[in-house]
Every structure is written in structure tokens, then in C-alpha cells.
Amino acid sequence: MASAFISRFSLTGLLLAAAFGSLFAQSPSTSSARPSTPIAAEGSSRQAAKPTIVLVHGAFADGTGWQHVIPLLERDGYTVIAVQNPLTSLAADVETTKRVIDVQPGPVVAVGHSYGGAVITGAAAGNAHVKALVYIAAFAPDAGEPIGAFGEKYPAALGQALRPDAAGFLYIDRKQFRELFAKDVPLTEAQVMAATQKPIIGSAFGSSVPQAAWKTIPSWYLVAQQDQAINPDLERFYAKRMGAKTSEINSSHVPFISHPAEVAQLIEQVASTPAVAAK
């Protein structure tokens, strides 16, 4: 039953080529992200212009997955909101995220992990308040392009570990969860992640967004070099196609959990660039 279901939605390599993306080179070439102290808060004039950071989780997770990054950003004076998406359809998740973005009074930096990258691609389109997009090991589809369009070309190991329930929602096999999803996360934390994973409707990976925000909004991309949920070469393809400022990190699929300081620093560097910080 599982194999038939996955076939139906192209979830063979699509599903994950995925499931669910240095610190920036202006050219398509990349360099390794290095641990460093998150950027310190600046003077009052810059603080007044700090954008709101909207964090969007991926599949099999919820907003609490950002719990290691949020305190670092808030310590440095940023307002942070982690969206809680239902994962019942791509359209519903885009609409939920769009409502959060639309209510912000000033500039916004939208950050998406994995499947959350597809969500911000749709939710930020046409919104003048969104000044930058940050993709963390994430899907970055073009308009009208299914999220799983490149699953066969860029296969990923996670696809074979997906288990559908009777309603078509997908889970990751708990025995394989840490190895394929969070290998560099401490064992106890990875076990909690596996036990609390939030399923996603399988059909979401065959869905698309009508507009791609990265075509008009400056974008940054963090490639996870040891990712087994989305093929790192697919991540590089997305980054190059969108002309993103790209960095790489030696991480599993969840660098915001295993390397929160580096991810927070990336977000802060994006947020502090003049074009983003100015209202």
C-alpha cells in the first residue's frame, strides 16, 4: 500500500528528493559556513529598522523546531514569529503564512526550511513588505512547478522511509528518522522529534504555487551538505536558478537544530543588509 501511494504522488524521488535550504557568495560558487558569534545588536537607529523575522517550518515538524534559533534572534533585538502551518495542503499553508506576513507593520524577512521553502515562495509573492527570502535546505519551486518535480533527477534516501496513513498523510519511519533526517542532532532530541513529528498530506508534493516570490525578492540559500531528505545537488540547483547568495554547511537536513548559531547568523546578516533593513 505504501509503495502504491508513493508512486501515485511521484513520491519516489520527489518525495523527497525530499520532504521538506559562504555565508554568501555573490556568485553561484559556494563556501562553507563557519561557526561564529551571532551578529551583535547595532545602534538605536538600526534597531528601529530591524525587520520582523517570519520562520516557516517544513514537513514532519511545527514551529517549535525553531526553538534554538529564536532566542538568538530575539537576544539581538529582532521580532520573531514562527508560523504554525496545518500541513493539510500547500494552498492552506501558503494562506496561513501569508496572513502572518500581511499583518506585519514593517519589513519582513521570510525564512523557510524544506517544504517551508515552497510555502514562502508562494506566500511572499507580490508582498512589498517582504524584503528578503532565506531558504534553509529547502524547496524553491518555480510558478506552476510541482514541489516534487525533480524527485527522479535528484533522488534522496528519505523517500523510502515515508509511511502513509489511511488518510494519505505521510510520516517518517521512526527507526530511520534520525539517520535520514537528523543525523547530527543529539540522540534524545532526535527521538523527541521522531515521536512528535507532524504528518503532511502526501498530495502537497504534487502541488504548485501560481507565483514564485524569488523572482522579484532577493534570496539567500543555505545548502545542507549531508542532507538525505533533499538531495544537496537539488538544493544547489534551486540556489543557482534563483540567483541566490549561497552558502553551504556540513549538516543534516536540519541545520537550524544542529547548527543554530550559524543559521541565526545567516538570518541576521540578511536582515542587516541595507536594502532589507531600511523601511
Angstrom CA distances, 258 to 55, 171, 189, stand at 17, 21, 10
The per-residue pLDDT of the chain, averaged, comes to: 87
* The pLDDT value given to residue 266: 98
* The pLDDT value given to residue 31: 38
Instruction: Determine contact, residues 187/178, Cβ cutoff 8 Å.
Output: yes
279 band by pLDDT with thresholds 50, 70 and 90 = low
Q: Using the predicted structure, report yes or no on whether residue 13 has a pLDDT greater than 60.
A: no
Residues 231-243 as b/e (b if ≥16 CB within 10 A, e otherwise) read bbebbbebbeebe
278 band by pLDDT with thresholds 50, 70 and 90 = low
Phi/psi region, residue 60 (left: phi>0; alpha: psi -120 to 50; beta: rest), is left
Spans of all domains in the chain: 2-277
Q: Using the predicted structure, report yes or no on whether residue 19 has a pLDDT greater than 80.
A: no
265 band by pLDDT with thresholds 50, 70 and 90 = very high
Mean predicted confidence (pLDDT) in 111-126:
98
* The pLDDT value given to residue 242: 98
What single-letter DSSP state applies at residue 183?
A: T
Q: Using the predicted structure, report yes or no on whether residue 116 has a pLDDT greater than 80.
A: yes
Instruction: State pLDDT tens for residues 155-169.
Output: 999 999 999 999 999
For residue 108, the tally of other CB atoms under 10 A from its CB is 26
Q: Using the predicted structure, report yes or no on whether residue 260 has a pLDDT greater than 60.
A: yes
* The pLDDT value given to residue 228: 98
Distance between CA atoms of residues 264 and 55, nearest Å:
11
277 band by pLDDT with thresholds 50, 70 and 90 = confident
Instruction: State pLDDT tens for residues 56-108.
Output: 999 999 999 999 999 999 999 999 999 999 999 999 999 999 999 999 999 99
Nearest to 34 by CA among 44, 24, 42: 24
Instruction: Determine contact, residues 5/168, Cβ cutoff 8 Å.
Output: yes
Q: Exposed/middle/buried for 79, CB within 10 Å: 0-12, 13-18, 19+?
A: middle
CATH architecture group of domain 2-277: 3-Layer(aba) Sandwich (3.40)
* % of the chain at pLDDT higher than 90: 80
34 band by pLDDT with thresholds 50, 70 and 90 = very low
Nearest to 106 by CA among 82, 81, 73, 134: 81
One DSSP character per residue, 23-37 reads --BSSS---B----P
Mean predicted confidence (pLDDT) in 225-250:
98
